[in-house]
Amino acid sequence: MKSQNQIQPEAFLKTVGTIGFALAILCLAGCASTPYHKGDAAAVSLQDAASDVQGQGRALEVTMGTLDDLANKPEPDLKPQFKRFSKAVDKLTAYARRNERSEARVAKKSSAYFEAWNKELATMNYEIVRARSQARKDEVTNYFDSVHKRYHEAQDAMGPLLSYLYDVRKALDSDLTQSGVESIKPIVVKARENADKVQLALSRLSTELAASSTRMSSVVYENASPTPTGTNQQPQTSQSKQVDGS
């Protein structure tokens, strides 16, 4: 058994930790109404979204790679290759859904930021200051609108591609033979063409998400440009926390 002298320091440290955590929560709650904190929250959601989009780009490249291998480098036993392709399609689907949730978070956080900005504008006494701040808000809002447009472009391109890949999977699942694989080669070529277009849309979206994050954040990023989709590198920032989109 632990002695009383051993128990007391542990209990004290536990109490101090609990109090510290509670104070941190209270501090964050008190700061939540500050407009620039809302801007930082919006910036984080945008950076998270950029990371998710990059992840989707990598998942798309893996999916197309497994399909290319199956169609152009079929092995004697086709089942392992088909399973890799099927698993990659499922992961790509999961990323597409994840990006839909990311878009909703971005819209919510950005809306809260612009609303707080509008309230501050309404309380400004000098027209020259208010006009300058309004111009800046319009600039940021317009840039955010372009990001929202990019989101829809990427989603509009991804939806049909996923449906196409689902059909390819069904066709192979029904006819997983050397002749069946040979018959889908022209379809795989078309899928690759469509995938390249989606990759371009994802790349543009990721770039604008990262740029919008910089415009809304009070933290200056050392390297705000995202790495191209389809790579394993992550953008580095001046913050110690690396955004993983989770």
Q: Residue ranges of the domains in the chain?
A: 36-216
SS (H, E, C) 164-220: HHHHHHHHHHHCCCHHHHHHCHHHHHHHHHHHHHHHHHHHHHHHHHHHHHHHHCCCC
Q: C-alpha dihedral over 9, 11, 15, 18, to 10 degrees?
A: 110
Burial of 79 (0-12, 13-18, 19+ CB in 10 A): exposed
User: What is the total residue count of the chain?
Assistant: 246
Give the list of residues 6+ apart from residue 214 with CB closer than 8 angstroms, or none: 43, 220, 221, 224
Per-residue DSSP letter, 245 = -
pLDDT of amino acid 173: 95
Q: Identify the residue whose tokens are 């998942």.
A: 59
Give the list of residues 6+ apart from residue 225 with CB closer than 8 angstroms, or none: 207, 210, 235
The CA distance from 150 to 138, in Å, is 18
pLDDT of amino acid 157: 86
Backbone torsion region of residue 245, taken as left when φ is above 0, otherwise alpha when ψ lies between -120 and 50, otherwise beta:
left
> Closest Cα partner for 98 from 157, 55, 63?
55
pLDDT of amino acid 110: 85
The CA distance from 224 to 231, in Å, is 16
Let me know: does 95 contact 56? Beta carbons within 8 Å: yes
Let me know: does 231 contact 58? Beta carbons within 8 Å: yes
pLDDT of amino acid 149: 84
pLDDT of amino acid 33: 60
Per-residue DSSP letter, 74 = -
Question: Which amino acid does the sequence have at 237?
Answer: T
Q: Is 83 helix (H, G, I), strand (E, B) or coil?
A: helix
pLDDT of amino acid 42: 83
Positions of the chain with pLDDT under 70: 1-33, 219-246
Burial of 143 (0-12, 13-18, 19+ CB in 10 A): middle
